[in-house]
Amino acid sequence: MEATKNITHIAVVPSPGFSHLIPILEFSKRLVHLHPDFHVTCIIPSLGSPSTASIDYLNSLPSNNIHSFFLPPISISELPQQQSPAFQSKLAMTKSLPSLREILNSLMCSKTSPPLAALVADTLAYEALDIAKELNISSFLFALWSPALCSFHFQIPKLDETILGEYPDYPEPFVIPGFVPLHGRDFPEFCQHRSSEAYKMVVHRDKRLPSLDGIMLNSFIEMGEETAKVLANNKGSGHPPVYLVGPIISQTGLMNEKDRPECMTWLDKQPPRSVLYVSFGSGGTLSQEQLNELALGLELSGHKFLWVLRAPSSVANASYHSASSSNENPKEFLPKGFLEKTKDQGFIVPSWAPQIQILSHNSVGGFLSHCGWNSTLESVMHGVPLITWPLFAEQKLNAVILNDALKVAVRPKVNKKGIVEREEIKEVVKTLMESEEGKGIFKRITDLKEAAANAMKEDGSSTVTLSQVAHIWKNKGVLQ
């Protein structure tokens, strides 16, 4: 890369984990597509050896504008076990800071590339932004957050100081500016136990948010209009400017007919909007008891389903850090006789399926989802209504957004043991796929799909906002 004042150079730093790498790189691709005079250096910390999927994805990036490399990997044996994946990612990031500082220093002193104008880090790599401050680089957070979750994080330091006891124990809902009242039981997982290391980590980070130069959300105005208005009015609020630049999702397509998975051929044979897609993301697993109930509930519903099945686990986020899962055959854990009884009703895909292609297929009429933010945006962008089944992280709050605020989903009830029973599963599937309520949900998510598409147009709100951020960085690059 030639050193020239016409190029604006930024660095991006994801936290360890495939599900964090993809969004920040998709953001980078969007940035250089809209602003070809930008160059992005992606500096990637890793927990263990990088996955094959990560390497393959990096090799597919536009090589002229985006360069990437891995920091020395952190061994998982160096980290305390029995901690949440988010906390492990943060610790791995902390251990990677000396290597990161060395590389950023070298980039700032390089004679072959322009100095860095900005450093963009994701929410678990926020410590990298301290180095940005040291080097007089603009510090921006890129967050897989809804406007509501961003507003929630701005409130955490105040709640931590004023509320006694555990949040889920409070009988009354909490007020989150611009959002529907939120019960403590629907707070993100890291807020369920205030003595946990994960909670302390989040409070520590959220207290530092006001020092940032900006926060970019992978979201758009219509995903929370009232909250977006509150966030936009940051004068005197103490929080930094918030920029809604999404929805940015992976656009990876199938290479050719030869590579097309069998599940797509099966979908081709199904009637329009007749199939319920069931997937809990790259890090979602169920217990054996819950897996049995889900299987039998799908069977009882009588509706077609395509289920991305993982082997059961007592840990909901068992494969969080990996793009691949256990070598066990998950079909072996299904109820006896289930595959034979549902051979004309459903299709089971072990471990992984091409989600973007599935959601865009016209035979898919619903998505039973764990409510991860990537999956939520993908469902919205393809106009697929949801059954919300949150498992961990901030997924319960995302479910509240989808169910109560946007009303584009239905949510099953759990019993006293925390299990969703088969009859309940049957009823919510029928509600979504065949009832008048389901038709209303489909109409609302169709409208939201249109709003998402409009936000990403050349003159759309998110495109204009990203250009505003790019202009800030260009000015910073000129000043250096």
Q: What is the pLDDT of residues 107-118, one digit of tens each?
A: 998 888 888 999
Count the Cβ atoms, other than its own, within 10 Å of residue 77: 7
| 8-246+458-479 carries CATH number 3.40.50.2000 | yes
pLDDT digits (tens, 9 = 90+) for 303-348: 999 999 999 987 666 555 554 445 689 999 999 999 999 999 999 9
From 122, 186, 206, 213, the catalytic residue: 122
pLDDT at 258 over 90: no
Average pLDDT over residues 191-215: 95
pLDDT digits (tens, 9 = 90+) for 263-307: 999 999 999 999 999 999 888 899 999 999 999 999 999 999 999
Beta strands in 168-233 (DSSP E): 214-217
**Element (DSSP H or E) covering residue 307:** strand 304-309
Determine the pLDDT at residue 461.
98
Determine the pLDDT at residue 18.
82
Specify the pairing of strand 386-388 against strand 409-410: parallel
- Token pair, residue 298, equals 């799908």
pLDDT at 92 over 80: yes
Q: 421-432: string of b/e by CB count within 10 Å (b at 16+)?
A: bbebbbbbbbbb
Determine the pLDDT at residue 478.
54
- Average pLDDT in the chain: 92
pLDDT at 2 over 50: no
Answering whether pTM is above 0.85, one says yes
Radius of gyration of the chain (CA): 22
Dihedral angle at the C-alpha atoms of 328, 333, 338, 340, nearest 10 degrees?
30
Determine the pLDDT at residue 80.
84
pLDDT at 256 over 70: no
- Token pair, residue 107, equals 């980039």
Q: 26 by DSSP, 3-state: which? A: helix
Evaluate whether 79 touches 92 at the Cβ level (below 8 Å). Answer: yes
Ranges of each domain in the chain: 8-246+458-479, 257-453
* Lowest-pLDDT choice from 1-10, 21-30, 93-102: 1-10
pLDDT at 189 over 70: yes
From 20, 303, 321, 370, the catalytic residue: 20
Q: 387 by DSSP, 3-state: which? A: strand
Q: 289-307: string of b/e by CB count within 10 Å (b at 16+)?
A: ebbbbbbbbbbebebbbbb
Q: Which amino acid is at 345?
A: Q
pLDDT above 90 coverage of the chain, percent: 79
Place of tokens 């989150």: 176
Whole-number Å distance between alpha carbons of 355 and 451: 21
- Mark whether 20 is an active-site residue: yes
CATH topology of domain 257-453: Rossmann fold (3.40.50)
- Mark whether 259 is an active-site residue: no
pLDDT digits (tens, 9 = 90+) for 430-453: 999 999 999 999 999 999 999 999
Average pLDDT over residues 421-438: 98
Average pLDDT over residues 454-465: 98
Residue 404 DSSP one-character state: I
- 8-246+458-479 and 257-453: identical CATH topology: yes
* Lowest-pLDDT choice from 90-94, 118-122, 251-255: 251-255
Whole-number Å distance between alpha carbons of 123 and 342: 42
- Token pair, residue 398, equals 């995302």
**HSE-up of residue 277 (Cα within 13 Å, Cβ side):** 33
Determine the pLDDT at residue 452.
98
Q: 123-147: string of b/e by CB count within 10 Å (b at 16+)?
A: bbbbbbbebbeebebbbbbbbbbbb
pLDDT digits (tens, 9 = 90+) for 60-76: 887 789 999 999 999 98
